[in-house]
Amino acid sequence: MKQNNANFITTALICVALLPAATSYALPDAQLRDLSNRLFGPLPDTMPGSGQDTAALASLGQQLFFEKGLSANETQSCNTCHDLTGSKSGTEPLSVSQGALGLTGTRNSLTVWNAGFQFLQFWDGRADSLEEQAKSPLLAHHEMALSSGLEAERVLRERGYTPAFEAAFPNQGDPVTFDNAARALAAFQRTLITADRFDRWQKGDDNALSAKEKRGWNVLYQQVVTPAIMAR
Ligand code: HEC
């Protein structure tokens, strides 16, 4: 009897665990992809505004992104709070960021990956472009804490960036400006587009997801996404 009870409980548990899989039917790849693309669509290959960006501009922006000289005590670069080294997430592990002078902010740093696809920047959307956004951390006292845009320009000249600015902004008399630094940082960040397997699958590569992952997406789609859409 005891054994029978145990068997019954085990069978019931297995049934509950299998319930989602059992009640969803497996859609063929093409159909699942079509639904998925209607819901998300793959990420575009380029970011809005990148049409005017050149390799020289993005390369300058990349150097500036890692330039610690652009903080009050030369301890911090954009990369300190938006770590891109290796395959990092473009953010940092702290719950709220800490600036060059040790002051803590009030917010968690957002990732810079895909940020240029957002129509507004920051948690509260207070900047409407990557160009406008980039100036803010350079001057914020709880971030990189430079005293002014002029100080940024002085540092950049001192650190030998003039030729790189000249290459990035040909035909400008004196291209080492705060505005141009922000423009270059934005151009670099417009290259930060993630390429993950889900996107590859959405673009048509059947093998980009494993059979198990497709089964999971099937279940999620039919049991979570579809009911949520129907309930609206
Ligand atoms: C001290 C840490 C710190 C530094 C240094 C820093 N950031 Fe940030 N960054 C943050 C935090 C925190 C936020 C979110 C703030 C908010 O929403 O109010 C943020 C937000 C952003 C966003 C908005 C992303 C989105 O999806 O809205 C971008 C882009 C960005 N930072 C780029 C930069 C660049 C470029 C630099 C260097 C010039 C830089 N950051 C330096 C902490 C930092």
- In short, whether 76's Cβ falls inside 6 Å of ligand 1 is yes
Q: How confident is the model over 26-73, as pLDDT tens digits?
A: 788 888 898 888 888 888 999 999 999 999 999 999 999 999 999 999
Residue nearest to atom 5 of ligand 1 (CA): 78
Q: Does the CB atom of residue 88 touch ligand 1 within 6 A?
A: no
pLDDT in tens, 102-138: 999 999 999 999 999 998 999 999 999 999 999 999 9
Find out whether 184 and 77 touch, Cβ atoms under 8 Å: no
Q: Are 192 and 134 in contact (CB under 8 A)?
A: no
Whether 187 is in the pocket of ligand 1, judged by its Cβ within 6 Å, is no
Per the CB < 8 A criterion, the answer to whether 68 and 75 are in contact is yes
CB of 164 closer than 6 A to ligand 1? no
* Ligand 1 within 6 A of CB of 84: no
Each residue of 67-102: b (16+ CB within 10 Å) or e? beebbbeeebbbbbbbbbeeeeebbbeeeebbbbee
Minimal-distance CA residue to ligand 1 atom 10: 109
Checking if the pLDDT of 4 tops 50, the result is: no
99 close to ligand 1 (CB < 6 Angstrom): yes
Q: What is the distance in angstroms between the CA of the first residue and the CA of the last residue of the chain?
A: 49
Give residue 120's pLDDT: 92
Ligand 1 proximity of 110 Cβ (cutoff 6 Å): yes
| pLDDT value at residue 24 | 55
Protein residue whose Cα sits closest to atom 15 of ligand 1: 122
Residue type, 14: I
Of residues 116, 134, 151, 131, the one with CA closest to residue 78? 134
Distance in angstroms (rounded) separating the CA atoms of residues 100 and 80: 10
Residue of 97, 118, 136 to test ligand 1 pocket, by largest number of atoms within 8 Å of CB: 97
Q: How many residues does the chain have?
A: 232
